[in-house]
Every structure is written in C-alpha cells, then in structure tokens.
Amino acid sequence: MDKSVFISRDLSLTSPFRSQLEADGFTVTDCSLLDFQRIPFEAFPTTDWIFFYSRKAVDFFLTQLENIPDDLKIATFGSGTTEALRKHKITPDFTGTGEGSSTLTTFLKVAGQQSSVLFPQARNSRRTIERLAGDQLVSFPFIVYDNVPKKEIEASSASFLVFTSPLNVQAYFDYNNLSNHQKIIVIGKTTGAALEVYGVEDFKVAETASEEGLVAAILDLNRVK
C-alpha cells in the first residue's frame, strides 16, 4: 500500500494533519466535498451558553460579530472546534469528545439541566446534542451557514480516504465506490453511520475528533498490512 491520503476538508497552512503525515512520508490531498455560504444575521438570542458543532460554525458566527459578551459561556463539540476558537483568541469553557452521548453527559454536568444554549450551525446540521438532550436543555438552533454536497465528485485513488462529516460521505459515495486497496478513516461515529448507509462497514473511527486523532488512526492502519 502506498502512503497516499485524501481528506474531505480544506486544510489550513498550519494543519497538523498535513505536517505530521508529510513528515512520515505520506502524500496528502485535501478538498472539501461541500459548498459553503454564509447566512447573514444581525442579532441572536441571549442564552447561558453558545455551543459550536464545527469549525465552520465558529467562523461563520464569529466573523459576523464585533465581540461576544464576557459573561457568556462557550462550549464545543470536540477538540478541532476548540482549536478553531483559539484562532479567534477564545478559550471555551467546555470541550466535548466529538461523540454525541459522551459529550452531552459531560456537558449537562458542567452546564446544568435546563440551561439555555444557542447552537450556531449549518442548515443541514444533524443537531446531535439538541436531539439527544431533548427537554434537558433549552435549545436555540441558529443557522449561520449553508452546506450542500458538490455535484459529480471524482473518485480518489488514494490508499487512505478520510471523511470528516456525514455530508462529505454522501457527496463522495453518491458518485463513487470504494476500491479494494482503500482504507477508510472517519472523524466520528455519525460519519461512520453515514458510510453504513452506502454498504461500507469496514472503517476506522478516530479516537479523538481532531486532525491529530485522524493522523493517529492512519498511522495505526498503515502498520497493519
């Protein structure tokens, strides 16, 4: 197996995913399989918390604000989203595991039941925490960007295919099949569930929902030949 990787994300110049893998001799190709568009807003509901699901939610929300009230608490779904916040010089009060059930359990302990929570999100968000929480939280979904799969995606010949969201899985497998030599890594269980819809059951879930977690999963699979 050659050391080539495709990831369904546009990597930043300082991406640890690219730097760590290239240092280990891998060739990395990055490309989001989705189109994104900002949805403008002028105001948002006042809540106890703001909970960010993704890097895009962070960027599309914060770039439309002059500042965030100092007393407002901030949570993220996983470490990758926390890193996006830090680029805006914001340290969150809570970081989840990148997996729905465990993140909600811990978040409820920190925030308390019946806390009001604003969820900046995509129009096609799976709303994982809101759905799992039910009436344990007072949830305010707040759409700040649109995300739609691109059309007629070309197949990648890379040995490792890395998918970072269910919609990226949909965009790819609506047009392509998996080759026998390819191994798949996903950033979380919900992305893995999207693969199963297309009959793909052999994949590895990163232990942490971060670029570093994805790198560790690739290196682990590369050792098993």
Predicted confidence (pLDDT) per residue in 1-11, tens digit:
689 999 999 99
pLDDT band with cut points at 50, 70 and 90 for residue 190? confident
Predicted local distance difference test score (pLDDT) of residue 1: 65
pLDDT of 133 strictly over 80: yes
Q: What share of the chain is helix, strand, coil (3-state, %, to 5)?
A: 35, 25, 45
pLDDT of 136 strictly over 70: yes
Going from the C-alpha of 2 to that of each of 10, 183, 202, 209, 219, the distances in angstroms are: 22, 11, 19, 25, 12
For residue 40, being part of any structural domain is answered with: no
Predicted local distance difference test score (pLDDT) of residue 71: 84
* Last residue in a domain, options 92, 115, 145: 145
The DSSP 8-state label assigned to residue 200 in this structure reads: -
Residue 88 falls in which region: left (phi positive, over 0), alpha (psi -120 to 50) or beta: alpha
Closest by Cα among 166, 117, 167, 164 to 142? 117
Say whether both 54 and 137 belong to one domain: yes
Say whether both 19 and 89 belong to one domain: no
If you average pLDDT over residues 112-130, what whole number do you get?
95
If you average pLDDT over residues 117-128, what whole number do you get?
94
Report the run of H or E that residue 106 belongs to, with start and end.
Answer: helix 100-111
The DSSP 8-state label assigned to residue 190 in this structure reads: H
C-alpha 29, offset from chain centre: 18
* Last residue in a domain, options 145, 176, 208: 145
Say whether both 92 and 140 belong to one domain: yes
For residue 21, report the phi and psi dihedrals to the nearest 5 degrees: -75, -40
pLDDT tens for 41-68 read: 999 999 999 999 999 999 999 999 988 8
Owner of token pair 């989001």: 32
Predicted local distance difference test score (pLDDT) of residue 64: 94
* Last residue in a domain, options 145, 165, 196: 145
3-state secondary structure of 213: helix
Say whether both 131 and 185 belong to one domain: no
What is the C-alpha separation between 150 and 37, in angstroms, rounded? 13
Angle CA 141–145–9, to nearest 5: 115
Closest by Cα among 13, 35, 9 to 186? 9
Number of domains in the chain: 2
User: Are 147 and 167 a contacting pair, CB within 8 Å?
Assistant: yes
What is the C-alpha separation between 152 and 148, in angstroms, rounded? 13
What is the C-alpha separation between 206 and 219, in angstroms, rounded? 11
CATH of the domain at 104: 3.40.50.10090
Say whether both 52 and 127 belong to one domain: yes
Instruction: Look up the domain containing 53 and give its range.
Output: 45-145
Predicted local distance difference test score (pLDDT) of residue 225: 58
pLDDT of 209 strictly over 90: no
- Mean pLDDT, the chain, rounded, equals 93
For residue 153, being part of any structural domain is answered with: yes
